[in-house]
Structure 1
Amino acid sequence: MGKQYSEIPDKQIEFIKHQKLFFVGTAANDGRVNISPKGMDTFRVINSKKIVWLNLTGSGNETAAHLLKSNRMTIMFCAFEGKPNILRLYGQARIYHNIDAEYSQYINLFPNIAGSRQIIELDVDLVQTSCGYAVPYMDFKEERNQLKVSMEKKGEDRIKTYWEEKNAQSIDGFKTEIEKNLK
């Protein structure tokens, strides 16, 4: 059965360390709800009440736009191997750009990945586990390298142009403040 905690139990921190995929859910007060799958080596548990993750360049920037409207966020992990488990982290999030001191504080926790555009910090106020009995078994084969290769090929100047063209606002027209990274 599912359980709730006010912080991330050590057992669940260990579970997180072995996951290759997580999902981020955000929503403004109006407009569309966004759920984004995230991978690569982009998630860190700072302590039982705080996590950070590295937001990479994508086709949109919904998470950033939503956090500027409402800072609530849910992160979900699913066990696709081993014992069934679904883990959700709920809390209040902040977004940091490369000009922010917090970005500089956290960026060295992650590998150098071309196209890194923001760091998201989540203060966890509720942790929920559920059974995961209906989640299928799936074997991890390998990370996809298309994003890495694409961003390395673009180079910094073309990445910034891409951010201006594709990441400046959400699909609902909300600003993302990606221009902070262009300075």
Structure 2
Amino acid sequence: MIYSVSMGKLFDSIDDTMKAWIEAQPLWFVATAPLSGDGHVNMSPRGHDTFSVLGDRRVGWVDYTGSGVETIAHLRENGRICLMFVSFDSRPRIVRLYGHGSVSLPGEAAFDEVVALHPEHPSTRAVITVEVTRISDSCGWGVPVMEVTDERDLLRLQAEKKGVEGMADYRAEKNTRSIDGLPGLPA
């Protein structure tokens, strides 16, 4: 069922049409926040072939090693998350998925499930899955029309240069605590 909300709509589930649209977006955003009012809200862009709709109210993605660990730390603390998908082509649309996110590491069932759906990447550090509690869209009329020319290969090149041990060292140095001191990945 679809419910009208101002110019946007609320949806009961992610149907096949929305799933295809979401999975076709080359760029999407993840927003999380700590419980502390003094903590930093975080929004991160994501791309590459990492995202999957896993069910009509469940999604997940392969999380690559980055210079920070905010999403993981916030999810471990409170689970709150919002994903935003934006159309930059000629047909405007914004879809937001709100829910409760979980972090899975290598060897855990959800990690194996999601990683198997995507190309192998040497920067893979975790998998995030989200049980979606609210699905909404809005017009996107204020979003510019842009053209994607290519994916960046810098993450892969950096990870290949560092190697498995170097990536583990990097994560131990940069990904064990959030900028607010919350626990991230195990050292």
Class of the TM-score when normalised by the shorter of the 2 chains:
over 0.9
Q: Distance in 2 between matches of 1:140 and 1:177?
A: 32
Q: Distance in 1 between matches of 2:88 and 2:63?
A: 23
Q: Distance in 2 between matches of 1:107 and 1:17?
A: 15
* Structure 2 spans left out of the alignment, 5+ residues: 1-6
| Alpha-carbon offset, residue 107 of structure 1 | 1.5
Matched, 1:45 2:47: no
8 Å contact 2:52–2:114 — kept in the other structure?
no
Secondary structure of residue in 1 paired with 2:161: helix
- Residue 20 of structure 2 aligns with which residue? 14
Query: Pick from 167, 172, 175: which aligns with 1:164?
Result: 172
Counterpart amino acid of residue 118 in structure 1: A
8 Å contact 1:7–1:125 — kept in the other structure?
no
Secondary structure of residue in 1 paired with 2:156: helix
Q: Distance in 2 between matches of 1:86 and 1:5?
A: 13
Counterpart amino acid of residue 65 in structure 1: A
Superposed, which structure 2 residues align to 1:89-104 within 5 Å? 89-104=97-112
CA RMSD of aligned residues (A): 1.0
Secondary structure of residue in 1 paired with 2:52: strand
Q: TM-score, normalised by structure 2?
A: 0.92
Q: Distance in 1 between matches of 2:20 and 2:107?
A: 32
Q: Distance in 2 between matches of 1:163 and 1:55?
A: 13
Q: TM-score, normalised by structure 1?
A: 0.94
Counterpart amino acid of residue 7 in structure 1: S
Query: Pick from 162, 165, 168: which aligns with 1:154?
Result: 162
- Residue 134 of structure 1 aligns with which residue? 142
Q: How many aligned positions are there?
A: 179
Identity among equivalent pairs (%): 39
8 Å contact 2:61–2:114 — kept in the other structure?
no
Matched, 1:24 2:30: yes
Query: Pick from 90, 100, 104: which aligns with 1:82?
Result: 90
- Residue 61 of structure 1 aligns with which residue? 69
Runs of at least 4 residues of structure 1 off by over 3 A?
none
Matched, 1:36 2:24: no
Q: Distance in 1 between matches of 2:180 and 2:26?
A: 30
Deviates more, 1:116-125 or 1:8-17: 8-17
Q: Distance in 1 between matches of 2:81 and 2:184?
A: 16
- Residue 4 of structure 2 aligns with which residue? none
Secondary structure of residue in 1 paired with 2:90: coil
